[in-house]
């Protein structure tokens, strides 16, 4: 009996360690996004360079999380919610790594903007509003994951218009900007790619919320219809 308790304690510690790695990774990507946005808006080349070079820490954590989760599955052969947690840990690690990649793009474009290839300040204001909203979505998603809070995760998933509205506004501004002066096309395209990177960060943050629902309730809500709530199911297309 003592040996079983010891094994159970070791197993719990392994799961706690894995959760800790995911939370550490979440903190890093949140910082990476904040720094990338600041570098972009202020055209800070030095900060942009730091964002680009810091990405290796996020990549290393993803590899470690993948290895730790795979090892636990192989050694412990978990079932039920524990198995879902381990599968979600691998998936979430991938989403967080991709958020880091998108934030790195912001750092690279910040260097470009600092060199003079920058759009009009009014366009960067729209980008700042989009970025602030995406940061909020990421923060709420990570908080829901840390607390295993299905209600909070569902609230994020239901708030589909928060990022989409700002993204559409930036796109309209950029298209108008390019049509009025084709010479600005390269600068506007750089801004467009930044906006697209921010939208993708929001998508990956929402994936984290889907993983919370999967772990806690065993429901796989990926690939549901656009705009549908997390309780919706995807209908098969008519023949």
The two structure tokens encoding residue 32: 């990476």
Architecture category of domain 8-217 in CATH: Up-down Bundle (1.20)
Q: How far apart are CA 45 and CA 73, in angstroms?
A: 43
Domain boundaries, the chain: 8-217
Q: Would you state the pLDDT for residue 226?
A: 46
The 3-class secondary structure across the chain, one letter per residue, is CHHHHHHHHHHHHHHHHHHHHHHHHHHHHHHHHHHHHHHHHHCCHHHHHHHHHCHHHHHHHHHHHHHHHHHHHHHHCCCHHHHHHHHHHHHHHHHHHHHHHHHHHHHHHHHHHHCCCCCCHHHHHHHHHHHHHHHHHHHHHHHHHHHCCHHHHHHHHHCCHHHHHHHHHHHHHHHHHHHHCHHHHHHHHHHHHHHHHHHHHHHHHHHHHHHHHHHHHCCCCCCCCCCCCCCCCCCCCCC
Residue predicted with more confidence, 173 or 204? 204
Residue 174 is predicted with a pLDDT of 83
Q: How many CB atoms lie within 10 A of CB 159?
A: 16
Per-residue pLDDT, 233: 47
Q: What's the confidence (pLDDT) of residue 159?
A: 82
Q: Which of 136-145, 169-178, 184-193 has the highest mean pLDDT?
A: 136-145
Average pLDDT in the 60-74 region?
95
Q: What is the CA radius of gyration of the chain?
A: 20
Note the pTM of the prediction, 2 decimals: 0.87
Task: Give the model's pLDDT for residue 112.
Answer: 85
At 82-136, the pLDDT tens digits run 999 999 999 999 999 999 999 999 999 999 888 876 666 666 778 889 999 999 9
Residue 231 confidence (pLDDT) above 60: no
What are the contacts of 185-194 at 24+ separation with CB within 8 A?
186/117, 187/117, 187/118, 187/119, 188/119, 188/123, 190/109, 190/112, 190/113, 190/117, 190/119, 191/119, 191/123, 191/124, 191/127, 193/105, 193/109, 194/40, 194/105, 194/106, 194/109, 194/127
187-191 long-range Cβ contacts below 8 angstroms, 24+ apart: 187/117, 187/118, 187/119, 188/119, 188/123, 190/109, 190/112, 190/113, 190/117, 190/119, 191/119, 191/123, 191/124, 191/127
């Amino acid at each position: 009996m003592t040996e079983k308790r010891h094994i159970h304690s070791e197993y719990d510690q392994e799961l706690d360690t894995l959760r800790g790695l995911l939370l550490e990774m979440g903190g890093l990507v949140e910082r990476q996004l904040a720094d990338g946005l600041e570098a972009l808006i202020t055209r800070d080349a030095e900060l942009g360079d730091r964002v680009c070079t810091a990405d290796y820490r996020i990549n290393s954590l993803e590899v470690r999380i993948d290895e730790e989760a795979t090892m636990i599955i192989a050694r412990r052969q978990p079932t039920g919610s524990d198995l879902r947690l381990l599968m979600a840990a691998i998936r979430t690690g991938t989403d967080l790594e991709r958020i880091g990649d998108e934030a790195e793009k912001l750092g690279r474009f910040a260097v470009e903007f600092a060199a003079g290839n920058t759009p009009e300040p009014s366009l960067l204001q729209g980008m700042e509003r989009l970025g602030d909203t995406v940061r909020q979505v990421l923060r709420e998603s990570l908080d829901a994951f840390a607390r295993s809070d299905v209600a909070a995760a569902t609230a994020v998933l239901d708030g589909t218009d928060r990022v989409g509205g700002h993204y559409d506004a930036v796109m309209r501004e950029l298209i108008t900007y390019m049509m009025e002066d084709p010479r600005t096309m390269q600068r506007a395209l750089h801004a467009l790619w930044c906006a697209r990177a921010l939208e993708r960060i929001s998508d990956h943050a929402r994936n984290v919320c889907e993983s919370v629902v999967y772990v806690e309730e065993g429901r796989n809500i990926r690939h549901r219809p656009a705009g549908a709530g997390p309780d919706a199911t995807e209908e098969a297309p008519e023949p």
